[in-house]
Amino acid sequence: MSNKFFSTIAGASLLLTFIGLIGRGFGFFREIIFASEYGIEKEFDIYLIGSVISVSINTAVFYLCQNYFIPAYHNYKSTSLEKANDFLNNSVTLLFVFFSFITFLLYFFSNQIITAYLGQNSSELFSLAKNIFVITLFTIPLNAAAAILISHRQAESEFKSTAIATLFPNVAIIISIIVLNTSLGVLSIAVGYLIGIILQFVYMIFVSHKEIVLSKLMKLKNIFPEKSLASGLIIIVLIEVINQSYVLVDRFFYKSVETGGIAALNYANVLFILPISIFSLALSTAIFPKFSQAFSINDFDTLKSHFTNAIRINFFFFIPLVFLIFIFGDSFISLIFERGKFTNQGTEMTFEVLQLLTFSLVFYSSYAIINKMIYSSGLINKLFFVAIILFVLKILLNYFLVENFKQNGLALSSSIIYILLSLSGYLILRNKFKFKLSLSFLKSFLLITLNCLLALLIITTIGILFLVESTFTNIFIISVFIITYFLSSYFIDSDEIKLLRQTSKNFYAIK
């Protein structure tokens, strides 16, 4: 197949989705090991608390680098390739130095941070949380440098090496648990995470060796971007940090939830994010350069077309997924996690949390696309304002909901925030570009929902015929739901099927 196809939105999305499946396969295996070895016990809660700041920063930096670096890199490249390469080298140095400083500060205040989460807990738990905290801190500057290099490869539409790079942390964690868990317990997760980030950094240096110049990296006086870019960088940093801070806020309520509540919230969030990571983020990552290019030449018709088609395809896959999770979510959890130390109690607790998160699945998956559109259009000031308001609201909702609903209250508050975040992002774009939901768009939304209801009616009828519930029965019923949904969509020739059909034509035309 020609490499040209993988430089298109459809081709890049398919490639990223395929490799994302592989990556998520390792991630799923990692979570299965977590569940089997640690279940919803207190020690795993402690790991999640000890690692939360480092993991949140690393995740925020990853998206920060995409949203900041790619548009700026294209701007420099339109002037000259040399300026673009200088910007790459300067960005690597800037983020490595800056986050090394952040790492030092966090280490200096490590006792106070752990106390804020755990309060006056036993010295054993405090020591465990602090050790995890310190080990994972060392990943921060290395992850920042690697994230810039990954974003650079994505800006050049070279997605294979970047997708491979994301595999290293999960693979290293899995191996570390297998080898070290008996002697280190949950500390083996932190050790594996550190090793994985180191390997990821080394790999990205290797694949980027032609662009990375040591002499440029060492010129610290040139590490800061132009004033206009620097102001944008600060706002983007704050937005991404705020968006990743929801999990930080939730874990401050460790003492207010049930034992294992933080672990259940983590397992549910893994399942909630899984389809978004595989499909929505792959689609938004592939389409981001197209958004930037269309906006740079003021081609707003193309911009609107890309955006509308992406949202429609997203709805097509995620609305039926909401139905499946609400009905069969406990079966998914049991099949994936229920072994070893993860008992039926863990399944029930995780399912309750997952159902509440799923209320926002369609909205939050769409936000992955809306977010890229906002960044491409330079509307970050408005997004920053929204992020601050929703962050404050998240804290207030947690306080009001956690007392009566425990970890379920934390999940419900997140779901409300995700919905508001998506709607706010859409309103920002509508105000800027005069986007309006056309009747055809609303018709598509209704048809998708009706197709799901038809599939639900059929599987409900079939379910009555089965007197005994089993894993095989559930798999069969789920398969009937999926087949019914896609067949009904095909026979009415929905707009989403037309889009998928056109993608297939492009695929075979370029083979």
201 pLDDT above the threshold of 50: yes
Neighbours of 205 (CB within 10 A): 14
Q: What is the mean pLDDT of residues 379-389?
A: 89
pLDDT for position 128:
93
Instruction: Give the residue-averaged pLDDT of 13-40.
Output: 76
Query: Do 499 and 312 contact (CB within 8 A), yes or no?
Result: yes
| One-letter amino acid for residue 429 of the chain | L
* pLDDT tens for each residue of 436-447: 666 667 777 888
Length of the chain equals 511
Predicted structure pTM score: 0.79
Residues 338/346, Cβ–Cβ less than 8 Å = yes
d(CA 58, CA 343): 31
Has residue 39 got a pLDDT over 60? yes
**In the structure, what pLDDT confidence band is assigned to residue 392 with cuts at 50, 70 and 90?**
very high
Specify the higher pLDDT residue, 428 or 281. Answer: 428
What is residue 508's predicted lDDT score, i.e. its pLDDT?
41
pLDDT at 297 over 50: yes
pLDDT score at 222: 42
Spatial CA neighbour of 61 closest among 103, 113, 31, 105? 103
With a cut of 50, say whether residue 236 has pLDDT above it.
yes
CB 155 within 8 A of CB 286: no
Closest CA to 283 of 164, 165, 366: 366
Write down the pLDDT at residue 100.
95
Stretch 165-194: mean pLDDT, rounded?
Answer: 93
The answer, yes or no, to whether residue 220 has pLDDT greater than 60, is no
Cα–Cα distance list, 395 to 87, 390, 424 (Å): 38, 9, 18
Distance CA 164, CA 42 (A): 33
* 32-41, 89-98, 234-243, 456-465: least confidently modelled range: 234-243
DSSP string, 421-448: HHHHHHHHHHHHH-----HHHHHHHHHH
Place of tokens 């991630």: 27
Tokens coding 309: 């088609």
**What is the maximum alpha-carbon separation in the chain?**
73
